[in-house]
Chains A and B, each alone.
Chain A
Amino acid sequence: MKAREEGIIISVARSLRGGLREVLSSNLGKAGVAILLFMIVMSAYSLYVLPSDFPEKWKYPTRPPWVFNPRNAQPQWVELFGAKVADTAIFSNLRADREGIVLSPDALLRLAPEAERALGVGRPVFIGYAMVFRTSYTLDNAAYPQDVISLFKVETSEKVNKSRIGVVVLMYITRPDNIVLKTAEERLTLATLDYVKIDQGAFASPYISHFKLNISEDEMRTLYYIAVFGKPVGKDFEPLQGEYQITLLLLFTGIDPREVQSLVRNGDIRISAEVRVFGTSYGLLGTDNYGRDLFQGILFGFPVALAVGFLVSLAIVAIGLTLGVVSGYFGGRVDEIIQRTVDIIANIPLLPLLILVGVAIQTRGYVGWPALAVIMFILVIFSWGGVAIISRSMALSIKSEPYVEAAKALGASSARIVFRHILPQLIPYAMAALVFGVPGAILAEAGLSVLGIDHGLPTWGRILADAQANRGIAYHMWWWVLPPGILLGLFSFAFVALGFTLETIVEPRLRRR
Chain B
Amino acid sequence: MEVLKVQGLKVWFPVRKGLLDVLLGRQEFVRAVDGVSFNVSRGETFCLVGESGCGKTTTARAIMMLIDRGDVRGGKVLFKPREEVLSEIKKLQPSAIVDSGYVDVLATRGQANKLIRREIQLIFQDPFGSINPRMRVYDVVEEPLIIHGIGSREEREEAVAKALEAVKLSASDFMYRFPHQLSGGQRQRVAIARTLVLNPSLLLADEPVSMLDVSIRAEILQVLDELKKTRGMSVIFITHDIALARYICDRIGVMYLGKIVEIARADEIVENPKHPYTKALISAVPDVVPENRKVLRNVPIKGEVPSAVRIPVGCRFRPRCVAFDENPGIQEKCRKEEPGLLRVGEEHYSACWLN
Q: Which residue of B lies closest to A406 (CB)?
A: B130
Do A409 and B134 touch (CB < 8 A)? no
Q: Which of A385-393, A410-418, A460-468 lines the interface with chain B?
A: A410-418
Given A11-B134, A411-B114, A424-B134, also A406-B122 (CB < 8 A): yes
User: Contacts A406-B122, A406-B124 known; A411 to B130 CB distance under 8 Å?
Assistant: no
Q: Are B147 and A408 in contact (CB under 8 A)?
A: no
A-B interface contact total, Cβ < 8 Å = 55
Report yes or no: B130 in contact with A402, Cβ–Cβ below 8 A. yes
The reply on B66 being an interface residue by CB < 8 A is yes
Which residues on the B side are within 8 Å of A403 (C-beta)?
A: 129-133
Given contacts A410-B121, A411-B144, 20 further A-B contacts (CB under 8 A): A402-B126, A402-B129, A403-B130, A403-B131, A403-B132, A405-B66, A405-B124, A406-B124, A406-B191, A406-B194, A408-B66, A409-B66, A409-B117, A410-B143, A410-B194, A410-B198, A411-B148, A416-B147, A424-B134, A425-B134
Q: Which residues of A contact B139 (CB under 8 A)?
A: 7
Check if A421 is an interface residue, CB within 8 A of chain B. yes
Question: Quick check: is B182 within 8 A (CB to CB) of the other chain?
Answer: no
Q: Are A401 and B129 in contact (CB under 8 A)?
A: yes
Mark each residue of chain B from 142 to 172: 1 if its CB lies under 8 Å from any CB of chain A, else 0: 0110111000000000000000000000000
Contact status A421-B124, CB under 8 Å: no
* A407 contacts B126, C-beta separation under 8 Å: no
Using a Cβ–Cβ cut-off of 8 Å, how many residues does chain A contribute to the interface with B? 20
How far is it, in angstroms, between the C-alpha of A403 and the C-alpha of B133 when the chains are bound? 9
A215 at the interface (CB under 8 A from B): no
A3 at the interface (CB under 8 A from B): yes
- Most chain A C-beta atoms within 10 Å of own C-beta, residue among B65, B66, B134, B139: B134
Instruction: Judge whether A3 and B66 touch: CB under 8 Å.
Output: no
Residues of B within 8 A of A402 (CB): 124-126, 129-130
Distance to closest chain B CB from A416 (angstroms): 7
* With contact pairs A402-B124, A405-B124 given, residues A410 and B129 touching in the complex (Cβ less than 8 Å): no
B144 pairs with A410, CB closer than 8 A: yes
**Considering the chains assembled together, what is the distance between the CA atoms of A3 and B148 in angstroms?**
13
Contacts of B65 in A (CB 8 A): 409
Does B305 count as interface, using CB distance less than 8 angstroms? no
For window 1-56 of A, CB contacts with B under 8 Å fall at 3, 7, 11
Cα separation A425 to B130 with both chains bound (whole Å)? 15
A330 to chain B minimum Cβ distance, whole angstroms, is: 13
Whether B118 and A411, one on each chain, are in contact in the complex, defined by CB atoms closer than 8 angstroms, is yes
Write the chain A residue with the least CB distance to B139: A7
Within 8 Å by CB of B147, from A7, A412, A425, lies A412
Residue of A with least CB distance to B198: A410
Max count, chain B CB within 10 A of own CB: residue among A11, A406, A424 = A406
Q: Could you say which residues of chain A place their CB within 8 Å of the CB of B134?
A: 11, 424-425
B64 at the interface (CB under 8 A from A): yes
| Given known A-B contacts A405-B124, A416-B147, A410 and B132 have beta carbons under 8 A apart | no
Are the CB atoms of A409 and B121 closer together than 8 Å? yes
In the complex, residue of chain A having the shortest beta-carbon distance to the beta carbon of B204 = A409
Q: Is the CB of A410 within 8 A of B66?
A: no
Question: What residue of chain B has the Cβ atom nearest to residue A405's Cβ?
Answer: B66
